[in-house]
Every structure is written in C-alpha cells, then in structure tokens.
Chain A
Amino acid sequence: MKNKYKDLPRWIVFAIAAFVMNFPVISTLSTALKTNAEISRDPGLWVHAPTLNNFAVVLQVTERLNIFSYLHNSLVASLIGSILPILVCFPMAYAVARRGYGTDVIFPTVVNLRAMPLIIFAIPLYMMYQTVGLLDTRLGLGLILAVVNLPLALLLLINAINDVPYELDEAARMDGARIFTILVKVVFPICLPTLATVFIFSFITAWNEFLFGLMLTTSEAVPMTVGASFFFSSGGGGGQWGVAAAVIIVASLPPVVLGVLMYKHISRSMTAGAVKG
C-alpha cells in the first residue's frame, strides 16, 4: 500500500508546476471561449457557456484585423527562415565535420551569434533594407530570421554528419564520385531526420520572433506575433477581450502543435545545441 502512493507528492509538485507555468495559456483559452458578458461578469477560469463566436470573429476579414494576411506573412517568412539556414549550413557542416575546416573563425562566429543581442543588427538592417527595397517584405523578414536560426542549424548538422560513417564517403569517393555528389546523394539522405528536426525547430523560432517583425515590417509583411500585439494595443480591448484572446490563441497554435508533435526531438536537439554551444 505504501509503495503505491510513494510518488504522490511528486505528482502533486508536477501538477502545481504544470498549472502555474501554463496558467496564462489556460486563462487565455478560457477567455477566448467566453462571451463578452461572461468575461466581465466572471473573469475566473471556468467557462459557463462556451462559445466559438470569438474565433468566428477573428476569422472574419476586417479593416482592423486581417488574420489571414498575418498568418500568410508568418508562414512565408518562417519557411524562408527555416529552409535557408539548412541550405547554407549543410555544406559548411560537412567541411567542419569531415575536414575540421573553419573551426577557427567561421564556426565560432556563427555559434556566438546565438548570444548576440539581435537589436544590434536591426537598425543597420533597417537602413540597408530601405535602400534595397526589402523593408516590409516577407523575403526581407525571412532572410533575417534565417540568420537567427544559423547557429543551431550549423551545430545540429555538424553532429548529424559526425554520425554518418566515414566509410560511406570513402566508398563513394573510390567510385569516383565528386564531393558534391557525395554531399547530395550520400550524406544528405542519411541526415534527413536531423534536417527535419532543424527545420521544425527553426520554424518555431522564426514564427515566434517579434523584434525583427516589429522593426522591419510596417503593413504589407507584418507577421502574426506583431499583428496580434497591434490588435491588442489598438484598443483590441475596447470590450473585445474575447476576440483579443482568440487572436493570441490562433497566433500561438502553429508552434504549439509542432512542439507537441515533436517534443522528443526538440528536447534532444535543444540539449545538443546547448551542450556544444
């Protein structure tokens, strides 16, 4: 009998920690499911008369809020921001992993980017983008999101290539394959699982980014995170708390879905990135 309940205190601690840390999410979800009348009458967590009306309002395109445009911008910019790092890091990762090339300058430079306050680059980028016409474009936003994702992409790809047996390269080389053939036909397919992890992780990071979206877009390419904050502060309140809550939920949904599906891989790559970095 005693053994059966010996883990009970741990379960209680887990429940409390999970509840407290996720409290804002639970509370916002509850607000999003309430009518305006209920929100002002009883702001507690329990929803007496659940309604999806707030979400219906969110999905209507109006002058003040066009959520599809925000979602579209975030999607395109995040795709650029998660595919481009893989493309530019993959050959470099091979050079680092197999030949120890670039370990003195390029590798530390990229990895240390993880620790740089991003605002340093935001202002000169603003000026540069203005000159070349990338300001307020999805491409411009996607490019800088790609920079944000470089460090982790490089680290994880180096790890992945280190795990590919060297004999495979050698065999291909013996057969007269050139380096790029080896890269594309031999190493790339084996690294696919890692590439998928890098992609998803980068996508979440890019989707969640706020500072560059705020500084480098104004109307055409505003991403979801920034759009949600605009809606909120432009009196999205104004009595419309339920709608504001629904906007936040919609904005947070894509990374959460990806994260829940991928949490095992995320935790593994997070550790790899942190320990090596």
Chain B
Amino acid sequence: MSPKTENRILATPIVLFLLVMLGFPAVLDILYSFSEVSFENLRSPTLNGGKNFIKVVNDPEFWAASWFSLKFGVATALSECILGLVLAVYLAPIIRKNNWMIAVLIMPMIIAPAMMGLMYRLVLHEFVGSLPHYLYLWLGDSPAFLSRENVFLTVFTIETLQWTPFAFLLIYMAYEAIPSEMREAASVDGTRPWRMFWFIEVPQMAPTLAVAFFIRFIDGFRVFDNIFVLTGAGAGGSTTSLSIYIYLSFFRSGDIGKALAASVILFCVAFVILFFAGRLLRRDRA
C-alpha cells in the first residue's frame, strides 16, 4: 500500500463523519435559507430567492440580537481575562504550594452552564433566594435582578463568575511557564515588581491572553444555555443573543426560512473572522 493510499484511509473515518454530520446539514442550511419553508412543507420547500435574507436584514430584532451578542462577548471576555490575570498572578505563590486550590477555583466551569443558570434562578429568587435574603437583611433592599434595566448586568456577572476560572487557568499555566532565568535576570538588574509585571511577564503571556480572550469572546458571543434557562428571551427580549434569536425564530415562530437565513449569515461572519484570525496567528508564528 502506498503512503498516499494509507493517508486517505486514515482520514476516511473523520471525513465521512464530518460530511454526514456537518456537510449535509450545511447544504440543507443553504438550500432552505433560499426557500419558502415551514413545518408543514418541510420536505418540499419552494425557492423564493433571497426573501428570507431580506426579512432577516430588515428585522430590528436581528440587529438587536447581534448587538447584544457582540456587547456580551466583548464585555465578558474582557472582564474574565482581567479577573483571571489578577487572580493567577496574585495567587500564584500560594497555588504553587497548594495545587488543590486549582480544583476549587475551576469548579464553576465544570458545571453545565444550563445548571448554573438554574442555580441562579434559585439564588436570585425574590422569596426563596439566598442573595435577596441577605441583601434585605443587610441593606434593607434588593434589586430586581431580572428586570429590564438590570438584566444585562445580571447575565454579564453570571457569565463572568462562571468563566473567569477558564481565563485564570490558562493564564496561570502561562505564568508558571515563564522561564525563571528571565525573572532572576530582571531582579538582578533591580527591576521593580510592577515593571517586571508589565514589561516582562505580560509580554511573555501575551499570546495566551490573546487566546483566552478569543475563546471567551467566541463563547460569550454564541451564548445560549444560561441566559435561556434564566430569562428565556425574557425581560422584553433584552437578553436575546443571536443563538436565542435563531432558536426562537425556528421553534416559537416556526419561521424556518428566517431562522436558517440568520444562521447562514452567522456562519459567514464566523467563517470570515476565523479565517482572518487563523492568518493572523500563522503570521505571528512565522
């Protein structure tokens, strides 16, 4: 058997699997997004040109959802990376001696985001929640966490508290991987701790910080689980992320064409971003 044939055979399982599970759906996605389709004529859609796309682009809720996702992704990624960086660097001296601390700190991210959302429904509940209870006890008042004005801050905080551990973990690993000679050389030269942090440690960790931010942004942008169980599209639709928008168009409104057109747009945007991010990364390494 020639190496070329061998390679093809080695690649066959994953290629077949991808073609069936993603290739076929992708074709369906594109085909149906250009069609008039509902739950009634699911198997015999009629082409209607770009009508679905026009509908999506003219839907203010689509733009509201896009804006929410973008805002949510950037805000949570930023706060998670900053908090993660602070925790990693400040706690590193004691974590080094007590590895179990990592297990305690990364516990939140092992729990399903959907379960985390449900837990917060309990925790924030007006009558049986522990947080409002203590706020009433100590401050005499408790905000309506899921009201229209507060809900963004609430879901932002929830996402940040659950996923700061992720940023913390990546950054801690990178921090510990900085060669000790580097620090020693700097301290022999009399570099102060703050200067050491900004001019030596942060640049050394820059690639990791970028990766952590990127991953957290992606996950924040496509957020679904925790917001969905916490608010549904609730609070007047003010927490509808793009994923929730597509879900609702599909299941609640039964407007499959619109949902698919929106997901094709989302796919294209994601593809372009990934393409350029990939090129940037490769250029960095070269």
Contact = CB atoms under 8 A, between A and B. Distances in A.
Interface of A: 7, 10-11, 13-14, 17-18, 20-25, 27-28, 30-31, 39-40, 42-45, 84, 87-89, 91-92, 94-95, 99, 101-102, 106, 108-110, 112-128, 130-131, 143-144, 146-147, 150, 154, 178-179, 204, 207-211, 214-215, 225-226, 228-229, 232-233, 241, 244-245, 248, 251-252, 255-256, 258-260, 263-264, 266-267, 270-271, 274-275, 277
B243 A211 contact: yes
Contact of A117 (B118, B214, B222): B222
B112 A255 contact: yes
A92 B16 CA distance: 12
A43 B169 contact: no
Contacts of B106: 259, 263, 266-267
B10 interface: yes
A270 B130 contact: no
A22 B108 contact: yes
Given A13-B91, A24-B119, A88 B14 contact: yes
Contacts of B90: 10, 13
B17 A271 contact: no
A23 B225 CA distance: 19
B177 to A, nearest CB: 9
Contacts of A30: 130
Contacts, number: 285
A112 B208 contact: no
Given A125-B21, A147-B22, A150-B18, 4 more contacts: A28-B123, A43-B125, A146-B21, A270-B169
B78 to A, nearest CB: 17
Contact of B107 (A22, A84, A207, A226): A22
Interface of B: 1, 3, 6-7, 9-15, 17-18, 21-22, 24-26, 28-29, 32, 42-43, 87, 90-91, 93-94, 99, 101-108, 110-116, 118-123, 125, 127-134, 137, 161-162, 164-166, 169-170, 173-174, 207-208, 211-212, 214-215, 218, 221-222, 224-225, 228-229, 242-243, 246-247, 250-251, 256, 259-260, 263-264, 266-267, 270, 274, 278
Contact of B115 (A143, A215, A251): A251
Given A31-B122, A119-B247, A18 B104 contact: yes
B111 A255 contact: yes
Nearest to B7: A101
A248 B18 contact: no
B14 A150 contact: yes
A92 B11 CA distance: 5
15 contacts: A21-B105, A24-B123, A43-B127, A43-B133, A44-B130, A99-B7, A113-B22, A119-B243, A124-B26, A154-B14, A208-B113, A211-B225, A259-B110, A263-B106, A267-B173
A101 to B, nearest CB: 4
Contacts of B218: 114-115
B173 A271 contact: yes
Dominant SS among interface residues on chain B: helix
B211 A277 contact: yes
A93 to B, nearest CB: 9
B108 A14 contact: no
Contacts of A211: 224-225, 243, 247
A251 B229 CA distance: 15
Nearest to B260: A123
A244 B14 contact: no
